[in-house]
Every structure is written in structure tokens, then in C-alpha cells.
A and B are shown apart, each in its own frame.
Chain A
Amino acid sequence: MTVAVRAESVTKSFAAGTRALDDVSLSVRHGEVLVVMGPSGSGKSTLIRTFNGLESIDSGSLDVVGIPLDCDHDERQIRRIRRRVGMVFQQFNLFPHLTILQNITLAPIQVKSVPKPMAERRAHALLDQMGIADQALKYPAQLSGGQQQRVAIARALALDPELMLFDEPTSALDPERVKEVLDAMRQLADDGMTMVVVTHELGFAREVADRVLFMDGGRVVELTDAETFFTHAKEERSQRFLNQMAH
């Protein structure tokens, strides 16, 4: 099986009647980095949140790491997916009452019944990989935003996911903290992780993405390889967006 995510004609509307996703179809191959771009309100966050069931879909079908997920929002299927798909949020969402180490070991111990010493060894290794090995016993509030986001990445990696979802991981960071998080993500991509990244970081997208998905108004405007997207985007809407981002 080589496809990590397959979406077919996915549609979703919110209660207020806004159409968040309109007939979205795409697929993400294993080992691929897909960057999702678009103006705010274009449905990019909603899209990747459907991939692990944080948002339900109204019609169409989804297949994530080989597990089908359609409109009936089956809790069991969703939990099976979530065990194999990591997610990193814009606001980090670390658990403030737990230490960094406990944040990372919580899910392996509770969800996968990994013995505590093993989970902790793995957590230390992940923290080391993220360059924050010395922070294990601190609490989230004691860390900088960039460090917290790297902990969040380590927390998601602790379940050994096949797919990582990033929902604007650097948007809440101070500009000088953005690099350390992007570096960690770049490292992850180099190691062959399958990633879907919603971001406004053009440099990162240009450098790391295999393909770029450009969305507007809940629709797929363009889905091409990164090189093509940044040098000669086909659609007028994408060009306009890139121009605005460049200034």
C-alpha cells in the first residue's frame, strides 16, 4: 500500500451554512510531503482535521493509512486512525498539568499500553532528536513557544505515526522561534516521514514540499509539484496569492 491519504469528493459545511470543503479530492503517497496553502478561511485546516476525524465530513469518502472513514463518523475507526496519525496544532496544546516527559509518554502508555520505562526511554530519545533533551522534567509553561512546539512534535511522534499532520505549526510563534521548529520538521521530512503541512512559510514549502495543494473557498485550486507551483503556477488565483505573499 503506497497511499497514506486518499480523499474523494469530500464535502463539508458548518452549521452556519458556510461551505468549508467543496468536492475535494486528493491523495498523499507514503513518504511524501504535501504542503497545503491558501488564504485564511480557504478550508485548509478543516481539510487536514478531517484526516484524523477531528472534523466529520458530509459526503464523499476518505481513506487514511488504509482505514476507510466516511460520513457516519465511526468512533472506533477514528480511534484506530488516530493511533497511527500524529497531529501538531497551531497553539501547541500541550497538557499544562503534566511535565514534558509525561506529555510525551501519556499516549503510548494509555493508548498503546507501552510499559512506562520503555515509553520514557523513547520520550528521551525524541526530546534529544528535537534538541531539548534537558527540558524533560519541566512543565510546558516554563518553555518558550518554539520549545513547546517541538515537544508537541515529539508527543505526536511518540506513537510512531505513519502520517504527521501539521496545522499551521509556526503561526503562533515569535519570528525568531520559527526556524527551530521548521528545522525539526525538515529533519523529519528528510527521514522519510509522510507529512501534510498547512503553512504560510513559503521558504519551507519551496524547500521541503514534494507537492503543493492550493485551496480557496473550500475548493482545490491547484495541486502540483512544488517546483511548478512556485515557478509557474497555472491558476491566476495561485499567482495572485504568491505575489501577495512575496511582498
Chain B
Amino acid sequence: MQSCFSVVLLALIAWALWSTGFWLVQRADWSVVSGNLPLFAIGSYPEASRWRPILWLGSLLLLTLFTLAQPLLLRRGIGLNSTILSWSWLLMMPLGLWLLAGGGVLDPVPSRLWGGLVLTLLLTVFSGVIALPLGVLLALGRCSELTTARQLSKIYIDGMRAVPLIAVLFFGQLLLPLFLPVQIEINRLLRAVVAFGLFAAAYVAEDVRGGLQAVPPTQSEAAAALGLGPWQIQRLVILPQALRIAVPALTNQAVGLLQNTSLMAILGLVELLGISQSLLANPAYIGRHLEVYVWLAALYWLLCTAMALMARQFERQDPSNLIATRRS
């Protein structure tokens, strides 16, 4: 009976693999992807300045590879110092913004022309930049002894978590301008990033709170006994430990952040999903939905895997062994 079942199951799996493979290689028409690779990468960025987003993507790719190969390189004694590596990652943010937006020696390019993978990454990174510090502050507030700070943080966190992301995005996009005076016009992209960051901060706050609560109270006692003040204790003793403990949960948030940027397509931003939808609206590519979405899935999978791998590496390299998911 059991062996019979196994045979049927194996046959089913084999059939699924075969038909998928057959479709991928034979039936699918990949011209919609291969013919539009630049569009997927950088959207309809002005021809003359295309090297700028491409340079940014290239350096990100290079840095990712470097980071992932770090243990291997270190073993041969040619690895980069990890401090240099972290600074390079930090440097990528202003660099990306400058390359894309222009300014100084570079021609300015308005943000409505940004798109594709570059925009997806930009949205992820900058909403993360808003969400992380704000989330940490909220978590500190939530664990604070001051009633006002605690209540305010609680209200913010619970409120944000009770609202769907798409509602927050629409609020930022459509309603916010109505409340603001006419003279103040905020960039559409900026509105999306801010709304997204504010939303994600609530979730980051809860992850960080988990970390804060996992640090034993004897730690702040020991720090206090050394004469450190309340802020020094938080900054030098509690937070560094809490953040390390929260790394697995925060990685989860980062992956979620990347995937959720696809919601911005609904707001008309042409990030990866937005570009795909506009491509599919082109009569030349009618009926190529499957190809485009399979390609998109593969792309997101690749990005998320790279993030997960880097996070795992960060966990392994932590010499103090504080991060919650240790290798057994």
C-alpha cells in the first residue's frame, strides 16, 4: 500500500518537474524579459544618465558578493576589514541617492523617472532607514518607566499594527496632501517611503522590544553599579545586546519590507511590479503574464535569499554569540 503510494507520489512529482521544465525551456517566450532587461533594472531612466543607476546596482552587487565571500577571503588572509565593509554598506545609501537624483556635477533626474529594481531597492533601503531608528525609539518608549512615553509608544504601535499597510500607503499618497497647505508639495516617492517607514517602525519596535526584554535586568544593575547613567546604560549595554538578539526577527522584517514594496505599484510607482504591469499592458506582450510573473518571482527570490544569507553570516560572525539563532 505504502510503496504504491510512494510510486504515485514520485510519478506526480516527476510529471510536475517535467512539465515545468518543458514550459520553462520550450513553451515560454522569454523575449518579454530578455528584451526589456534594462527596463526591469532601472525603469525609464534617461538614456544619457543610465550609467548612474547601473553603477549603483553594480556596486551593490559587488559589495554583496564581497560580503558573502568574506569568510572565504578571510581564511586566505585577503578579506576586507569588517569595519570597512559596514561603512561601505552605509555609504551605499547616500551614494545611491546622489547617483539617482543627481546634484552637483550630475544632472538632476526627477524621481518619477526612477523605476525597476533600482526603485525597489531604494524604497526598501530608505523605508528601513526610517523604520529602524524610529522602531528602536518606540521600543525604548514602550519599555520606559515614564508613563507618557510608554502610553504614546503603545498607542502608536497598536494603532499602526491595526491598520493594513495599503491603507497607510493610500493615506500618505492621497489624504496627506489634502491636509497640508497647497504650497507644501511633497514628492510622491518621499510620501510613499515615509508612510512605509512609519508603518514598518511599529513592527520593528515590537521586535526590538523582544530583544530588550531578553536582556536580563542584572545587566543594567551591573552597569549602574559602575556609575553609568541611565542613557549610557541603554546605549552602551542594553541596546547593543537587544539589537543582536533581535537580528533574526529584524531580518524577517527586512525581507518583508522588500516584498511589500511591490504594493507601491498600486500607487503608480514603477518599481519591479509596476514595470511588469506596464509591460504587460503593452499590446506586443499580450498573454505573457506567466513569463513575467515567473521572472519576477525568481528575482524576488534571489534578492531575499541574498539578504537572508548576509544576515546569517552576520549572525555567525558575532563573536559574543548573543544572536538568538545559533548554529547547533
Contact = CB atoms under 8 A, between A and B. Distances in A.
B229 to A, nearest CB: 7
A141 B236 contact: no
Given A82-B227, A83-B227, A139-B320, A97 B222 contact: no
A140 to B, nearest CB: 8
Contacts of A141: 320-321
A93 interface: yes
B222 to A, nearest CB: 4
A130 B225 CA distance: 21
A54 interface: yes
Interface residues of B, number: 21
B226 interface: yes
Given A89-B218, A110-B232, A110-B236, A96 B322 contact: yes
Interface in B224-277: 224-229, 232, 236-237, 240-241, 244
Interface in A38-56: 52, 54
A79 B229 contact: yes
B125 interface: no
Interface string A227-240: 00000000000000
Interface string B289-328: 0000000000000000000000000000001111000000
Interface string A50-66: 00101000000000000
Interface string A109-125: 01100000000000000
A93 B321 contact: no
Contacts of A106: 226, 228, 236
Interface of B: 218-219, 221-229, 232, 236-237, 240-241, 244, 319-322
Interface of A: 52, 54, 79, 82-83, 86-87, 89, 91, 93-98, 106-107, 110-111, 139-141, 155-156, 159
Given A89-B218, A107-B228, A139-B319, 16 more contacts: A54-B221, A79-B227, A87-B225, A89-B221, A89-B225, A93-B219, A95-B222, A95-B223, A97-B240, A97-B320, A106-B228, A110-B228, A110-B236, A111-B228, A139-B320, A140-B320
**Closest A-B pairs by Cβ, 6 of them:** A93-B222, A107-B226, A82-B227, A83-B227, A87-B225, A111-B227
